[in-house]
């Protein structure tokens, strides 16, 4: 789609952590854009409208009852941002149906947020020495992601729509996201609530196996900057003739082992004198035992080994490359906020 001085955006995920932060920056970066924000309820209408009351229109819709509304909204948009549930295939089907415009001189653009659980392996705490990183610069790496992987069915649906020429689609798959967001509703990543719930379930510092399994990390503002860069390229028509898989981007800046992550988690709970955390030491626990304590403990045992290279070739310059998510000054405030939210919900 060639650059338009004015263009219309359908935005999904405005009340979320990544989506809300992206919406704030989108409003600032593109004062000419007309924005329709899709919300499931009216709870946060005033908060969202306050970002720019003149340019933001709010539409309420949810599946399955309001599918026709979602299709209609998508049909009227030049650009659709989907920053909601990366596994909601019914939602993406409705968006693609609306965006399909046979005979149109320009293709609508879909920018979809996925995640690196796509490439999560079957490790049980230890990094697998024969692991090969998935690079977003190697199309065969994207193609070899199993069809059964989380998010893959949705991503494949988007790839197919792009191949058919119905839309121009870009997919961004962030690794573990950290940092406080600037969105109007959610400011913190759900992963930190998960970490808190893990610690409360185990009631001591723990690590699965040796804890050498890897996960990429990335600051939320760096995730947002990649989304905006991809949008700028789409508006300029830079990627109209490239492969669908050449518009897939990992967003990741620094790897961390789960031992590092769980060490920070135990140190935080020890600093709070939380019951069971008389010390910050980690006890190695066999994989099969951990999943008995918490059914999703496997998420801190399995690597997501990626190389985020394509974004840098188009000018992505993340600002938080040198900072570690696991450093006390970064992780403790995020855990503090997550602990308060978890205790509020208990």
Question: Has residue 1 been placed in a domain?
Answer: no
Element (H, E) at 214: strand 214-219
Q: Tokens 């990429």, residue?
A: 216
CB 131 within 8 A of CB 302: no
Q: Structural domain of residue 237, as residue ranges?
A: 7-179+218-251
Element (H, E) at 118: none
Question: Has residue 185 been placed in a domain?
Answer: no
Question: Has residue 196 been placed in a domain?
Answer: yes
Q: List, for residues 304-343, the tens digit of each pLDDT value.
A: 999 999 999 999 999 999 999 999 999 999 999 999 999 9
145 and 175 inside one domain: yes
Share of the chain above pLDDT 70, in %: 98
Question: Has residue 156 been placed in a domain?
Answer: yes
Least confident interval from 101-105, 139-143, 173-177, 245-249: 101-105
265 and 150 inside one domain: no
175 and 131 inside one domain: yes
Question: Has residue 320 been placed in a domain?
Answer: yes
224 and 200 inside one domain: no
Please name the residues in contact with 344: beta carbons below 8 A apart, sequence gap of 6 or more. Answer: none
Question: Has residue 184 been placed in a domain?
Answer: no
Q: What is the mean pLDDT of the chain?
A: 95
pLDDT for residue 272: 95
Q: List, for residues 17-28, the tens digit of each pLDDT value.
A: 999 999 999 999
90 and 147 inside one domain: yes
CB 226 within 8 A of CB 173: no
pLDDT for residue 346: 81
103 and 155 inside one domain: yes
154 and 297 inside one domain: no
Question: Of 251, 276, 297, which residue constitutes the final position of a domain?
Answer: 251
Number of domains in the chain: 2
Question: Of 236, 251, 266, which residue constitutes the final position of a domain?
Answer: 251
200 and 230 inside one domain: no
Q: List, for residues 280-293, the tens digit of each pLDDT value.
A: 999 999 999 999 99
102 and 205 inside one domain: no
CA distances from 170 to 220, 247, 341 (A): 18, 5, 33
CB 213 within 8 A of CB 123: yes
| Structure-block tokens of residue 68 | 């026709």
Q: Tokens 């930190």, residue?
A: 192
241 and 110 inside one domain: yes
171 and 283 inside one domain: no
155 and 76 inside one domain: yes
Question: Has residue 247 been placed in a domain?
Answer: yes
> Hey, CA dihedral for 312, 317, 320, 321, is it positive or negative?
positive
pLDDT for residue 4: 55
| Structure-block tokens of residue 117 | 């659980």
Does residue 208 carry a pLDDT above 80?
A: yes
Does residue 303 carry a pLDDT above 80?
A: yes
Q: CATH code at 173?
A: 3.40.50.720
Q: List, for residues 74-133, the tens digit of each pLDDT value.
A: 999 999 999 999 999 999 999 999 999 876 667 899 999 999 999 999 999 999 988 889
């Amino acid at each position: 789609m060639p650059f338009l001085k004015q263009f219309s955006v359908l935005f999904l995920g405005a009340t979320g952590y990544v989506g809300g932060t992206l919406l704030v920056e989108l409003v600032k970066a593109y004062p000419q854009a007309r924005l329709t924000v899709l919300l499931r309820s009216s709870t946060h209408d005033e908060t969202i409208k306050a970002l720019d009351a003149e340019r933001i229109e709010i539409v309420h819709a949810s599946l399955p009852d309001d599918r026709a509304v979602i299709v209609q909204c998508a049909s009227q948009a030049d650009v659709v941002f989907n920053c909601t549930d990366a596994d909601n295939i019914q939602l993406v089907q409705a968006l693609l149906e609306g965006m399909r415009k046979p005979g149109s001189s320009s293709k609508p653009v879909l920018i979809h947020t996925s995640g690196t659980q796509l490439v999560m392996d079957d490790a049980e705490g230890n990094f697998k020495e024969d692991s090969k990183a998935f690079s977003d610069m190697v199309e065969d790496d994207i193609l070899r992601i199993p069809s059964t992987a989380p998010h893959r069915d949705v991503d494949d649906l988007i790839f197919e729509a792009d191949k058919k020429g119905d839309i121009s689609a870009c997919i961004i798959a962030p690794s573990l996201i950290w940092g406080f967001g600037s969105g109007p509703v959610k400011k913190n990543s759900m992963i930190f609530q998960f970490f808190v719930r893990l610690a409360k379930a185990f009631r001591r510092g723990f690590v699965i196996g040796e804890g050498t399994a890897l996960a990429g990390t990335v600051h939320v503002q760096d995730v947002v900057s990649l989304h905006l860069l991809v949008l700028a390229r789409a508006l300029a028509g830079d990627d109209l003739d490239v492969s669908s898989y050449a518009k897939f981007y990992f967003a990741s800046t620094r790897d961390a082992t789960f031992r590092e992550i769980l060490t920070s988690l135990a140190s935080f709970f020890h600093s709070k004198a939380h019951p069971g955390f008389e010390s910050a030491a980690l006890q190695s626990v066999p994989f099969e035992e951990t999943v008995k304590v918490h059914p999703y403990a496997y998420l801190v045992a399995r690597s997501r080994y990626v190389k985020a290279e394509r974004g840098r070739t188009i000018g992505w310059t993340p600002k938080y490359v040198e900072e570690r998510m696991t450093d006390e000054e970064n992780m403790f405030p995020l855990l503090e906020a997550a602990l308060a939210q978890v205790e509020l919900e208990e």
